Amino acid sequence: MARRKTANASRKSNSWKDIEQDVKAKSISETAFKRILLARCRTVALFAGAFLIAAAGLKLFVMNDDLSVSITKAGRALPVKSIIVESDALPRDWILEYLDLNEGEIDLLGLELDRLKARLEKHPQTFSAQIARQLPDTLFISVKEREPVAKMLAEDARRGRLTLLVDRFGIVYEGIGYGPKQIKSLPNLDGVRLKRNEDGFEPLVGMEPVDDLLSQTRDIAPHLYQSWKIVSLAEFPKLIVKSGFVREIVFEKGETDFRRQISRLDYIVDYYKSHAFSKVEKVDLTMNSQVPVEQSLVARR
């Protein structure tokens, strides 16, 4: 009997149900509880923020779509009441007629601004153009034009003799809106041949050094520039200028700086004028240290 009791006691001790459970659940501290609560609040806030951003984006998309529809509808009721034109020489009336904006009611939002801009910039006198809407009823047009460097004469089968202008980049065009005084102040260009293309004429080669020479002469010795009548490219890269006092002046095309040659010419002209000469046949400024003045001089009587 004692052996059986011992065996029964052994079996009871091997069951976890028979072990006395004195261990109590570990309580969470107040600090840990706050940390867990804060982490959960952050998670909820992130989801809420994402939801609000998505809702705002959807609302903005719908508003923009409604706004574009409203603007399109309003365009039918927004006629152009004012056209602002900024240009140098091109007259306002010419620009409006060229762009077909001078007749009938114009729909401000129905205008194809890119097409109008491209058409205006295709004209050879235009360097660049800007066209914009100014709501509610104004169209803005700004034209930057080419600056003429010289002029030249050409024969047209229908219109006879024409005066054409040439800019620094060799673009040849008929000047519109320039005053007679401005045209007269430009020297004549010689020694070139015009070639026609679809848009007018092929650009001329050699005009950049011509512009450098003329602009530097205006800055350094304007009295010399005022007497220059013709600039020839017949011997390019040499530039030949014909003036009132010196019948022929030969410049050598350098990098872009003609200042040394201009200063030398100014000295020569002053010297011979002070010695009672009315004309000098030729001054060749490409001869460096050699005497640049041709000996055929005309003394003043």
Q: Is residue 270 part of a domain?
A: yes
Partners of residue 162 on adjacent β-strands: 154
pLDDT at 23 over 90: no
- Output 69 or 168, whichever has higher pLDDT: 168
Distance CA 218, CA 224 (A): 8
The model scores a pTM over 0.85: no
The reported pLDDT for the residue numbered 199 is 79
The reported pLDDT for the residue numbered 18 is 54
- Read off the pLDDT band of 16 (50, 70, 90): very low
Q: Is residue 75 part of a domain?
A: no
pLDDT at 168 over 90: yes
Put residue 168 in one of left, alpha, beta given phi > 0 → left and psi -120 to 50 → alpha: alpha
Residue 132 is encoded by which pair of tokens? 């914009």
Per-residue pLDDT tens over the stretch 123-146 = 999 999 999 999 999 999 999 999
CB atoms within 10 A of CB 185: 12
Q: Is residue 123 part of a domain?
A: yes
- One domain for residues 195 and 290: yes
The reported pLDDT for the residue numbered 144 is 97
Q: Is residue 207 part of a domain?
A: yes
Q: Are 172 and 166 in contact (CB under 8 A)?
A: yes
124, 145, 166: which is the final residue of a domain? Answer: 145
Per-residue pLDDT tens over the stretch 191-226 = 999 998 887 899 999 999 999 999 999 999 999 999
- One domain for residues 113 and 255: no
- Read off the pLDDT band of 64 (50, 70, 90): very low
Q: Is residue 23 part of a domain?
A: no
Put residue 276 in one of left, alpha, beta given phi > 0 → left and psi -120 to 50 → alpha: left
Q: 22-26, 85-89, 175-179: lowest mean pLDDT where?
A: 22-26
- One domain for residues 100 and 200: no
- Read off the pLDDT band of 68 (50, 70, 90): very low
- Look at residues 160, 120, 122, 127 and name the one whose alpha carbon lies nearest to residue 144: 127
Which residue segment(s) compose the domain that 137 sits in? Answer: 82-145
DSSP the chain: -HHHHHHHHHHHHTSGGGS---PPPPPPPHHHHHHHHHHHHHHHHHHHHHHHHHHHHHHHHHHHHHHHHHHHHHHTT-B--EEEEE-SSS-HHHHHHHTT-SSS--BTTT--HHHHHHHHHHSTTEEEEEEEEETTTEEEEEEEEPPEEEEEEEEETTTEEEEEEEETT--EEE--S--HHHHHTSPEEES----EETTEEPPPTTHHHHHHHHHHHHHH-HHHHTTEEEEE-TTTTEEEEEESSEEEEEEE--SS--HHHHHHHHHHHHHHHHTTEEEEEEEETTSTTS--B-S-EEE--
The reported pLDDT for the residue numbered 296 is 53
- One domain for residues 138 and 173: no
User: How many domains does one find in the chain?
Assistant: 2
- One domain for residues 290 and 153: yes
- One domain for residues 155 and 204: yes
Per-residue pLDDT tens over the stretch 264-299 = 999 999 999 998 888 899 999 987 666 678 655 555
- Read off the pLDDT band of 73 (50, 70, 90): very low
